[in-house]
Amino acid sequence: MLTSVLVANRGEIARRIFRTARSLGLSTVAVHSTADAAMPFVGEADAAVQLPGNAPADTYLRGELVIEAALKAGADAVHPGYGFLSENAGFAQAVIDAGLTWIGPPVDAISSMGSKIEAKKLMAAAGVPVLAELTPAEVSVDDLPVLVKASAGGGGRGMRVVSRLADLPGEIEAASAEALSAFGDGTVFCERYLAAGRHIEVQIMADQHGTIWAVGERECSIQRRHQKVVEEAPSPLVERIPSMRAELFDAARKAAAAIGYVGAGTVEFLADEGGAFYFLEMNTRLQVEHPVTEETTGLDLVELQFAVATGAHLPPKPPPTVGHAIEVRLYAEDPAQDWQPQTGVVRRFALSGKKLAPGGENVPESGAGRWPRMRVDSGVEDGSEVSPYYDAMLAKVIVWAPDRTSAARRLSAELTRATIHGVQTNRDLLVWVLRHPAFLAGETDTAFFEKHGVGVAVGAEVLRASALAAALADAAGRVGPVRVPAGWRNVPSQPQRNAYRVGDVTVAIEYRLTRDGLVVDGNMALVDSAPERVVLEVDGVRRAFHVGTYDGLVCVDSSLGSVALTPVERFTDPSQQVSPGSLLAPMPGTVIRVGVQVGDEVKQGQPLLWLEAMKMEHTISAPADGVLSELRVEAGQQVEVGAVLAVVGEEA
């Protein structure tokens, strides 16, 4: 009988597993890096053990330290979550050798699927459809485009799309280096690339007595950088093609049976619009997107993992799928800047106007038995810091409803009303996707963003109204309880002036407060103002703007959207100025490659340096034609956000 479980993971998945463990009467143990010491998952565990250091290679990927922590804390089981060591057969064996229960599949099954190259051979022999593997040396022009993939891992790391044969050697080298850094194995292979395929996966649950469930399928086609952004169950494509579900389930069960699978796993397929599908990989662990399956079946997949690991029998058949569930991954990132991850402190994080219960769980307003249901699996709360060392996902927001359209409508509305201050997120992009006609029509292939762009630009009028609200809230705060904004003059002279920056855009505001009220150029009138809430009439429509003010940041939420404003100081600190042509680090990270030397002529857009941060590789390119006059970093060097990496001067 299990009594205590250590979760060898962090963030939202650690909280998710703790939630089920507590419901089963198990005590919980967390491991954490130095950077994660104050994160919510650590505080929610009954016991916690620090793994000194910050980088994953020094902490969460150190299997021997994790097992030592489990033994020290008195745990008798280890749950790996997803990522990190979850698909490491050596770690699973070491857990078992230490006398602990491994909450995962058999070691041999992990080994069988650990190499994508060998996995595809096994699946082909079992009768599962596969895409032919291509060795880099045999790729020809007729095979293009091809996808270069890491053999040992997933999550978009070590993956490159190659459309020109001349680019193949360089992309293979880059993919191999990224795979080696992420998974400790630089092996890569190529396969035919379906630019507009559908990513369909089947949830598997199998016990130790030969019962294999195909619990339901999910569609995860909307992706960026080969990483999933929106997931749903059931799949719109499979719903449209009547015979496809039975064929998918049969192939998934064959895949599981071929390797003697036990526990929760996912068989992933790439499908075309006609319903033909091909095996991609099998994930021998819980998936990030497992909540949509739970919401449509009523199952707790983590509870089943514990049950199967201790020898329980599954019923002959899984429960049926009911209704529709959609999950979105809320990331700290800037979609308009090539999905650049963001770091910083989450000042406020709330959905439906309330802070979330520990571990996320269903938002209180959902109510038992009501629909649509909303669930939030979150790794952060007010005051949490998003560090550069780990994935930038803040939370998963999931809505279930009787039909797909209702689920999309409720989820987009909840995201619109959410209060997320302190770091930039992809929230507006997610709302745009959920309301896009192509998404609502079920046209959700992997080329969604290539086809439709990234519709996240904030209109000039929204920026201007939000900036005015920020200025008036600031003025109201300086006056106190009188509720008359600062700047009022009996005999007005100069207008009040405020300026804010949003990305590369500066919004300047001028206004007067007179006996007749607010005087501002344009179509806005003041109804009421207070330090945290300003009501404006915009084009004859009254709207409330909720203002959150923090050190160097003002966040404004309204029905028009959410805007994060950086106040522009009237006088610039000379110490903060940098030379023209300076390349600044967009985030903290590690310089992994330098492609130029001082004195080299460079062209605008030419890649000069490569940074690794937050599980991604980022290219730093030349801002203009010129000559590299300074190079201040070298490969392997850690840099902070805003650090000057190099300077491009004018051509001689």
CA 250 to CA 267: how far, in whole Å?
A: 11
Contact in structure between 534 and 547 (CB atoms under 8 Å): yes
Please give the DSSP secondary-structure letter assigned to residue 490. Answer: S
> 140: burial class by Cβ within 10 Å (0-12, 13-18, 19+)?
exposed
Please confirm whether the linkage preceding 402 is cis (ω < 30° from 0): no
Q: Find where tokens 């039909």 sit.
A: 403
Q: CA 446, 452, 248 angle in degrees (round to 5)?
A: 25
CA 583 to CA 295: how far, in whole Å?
A: 46
Asked if 285 is an active-site residue, the reply is: yes
Q: How far is CA 649 from CA 402, 601, 628, 652, in A?
A: 60, 10, 6, 9
CA 81 to CA 60: how far, in whole Å?
A: 12
Buried b (16+ CB within 10 A) or exposed e, 184-200: ebbbbbbbbbbeebbbb
| Options 224, 245, 285, 464, the catalytic residue | 285
Q: Looking at 346-391, which runs of residues are DSSP E strands?
A: 348-350, 373-378, 385-386
The 10 Å Cβ neighbour count of residue 94 is 19
Q: How far is CA 442 from CA 96, 248, 401, in A?
A: 44, 19, 16
CA 372 to CA 401: how far, in whole Å?
A: 5
Adjacent-strand bridge partners of 607 = 621
Q: Looking at 108-211, which runs of residues are DSSP E strands?
A: 133-134, 146-150, 160-162, 188-192, 198-206
Adjacent-strand bridge partners of 188 = 150
Bridging pattern class, strands 638-639 and 589-594: antiparallel
Bridging pattern class, strands 4-7 and 77-79: parallel
Annotated catalytic residues are 285
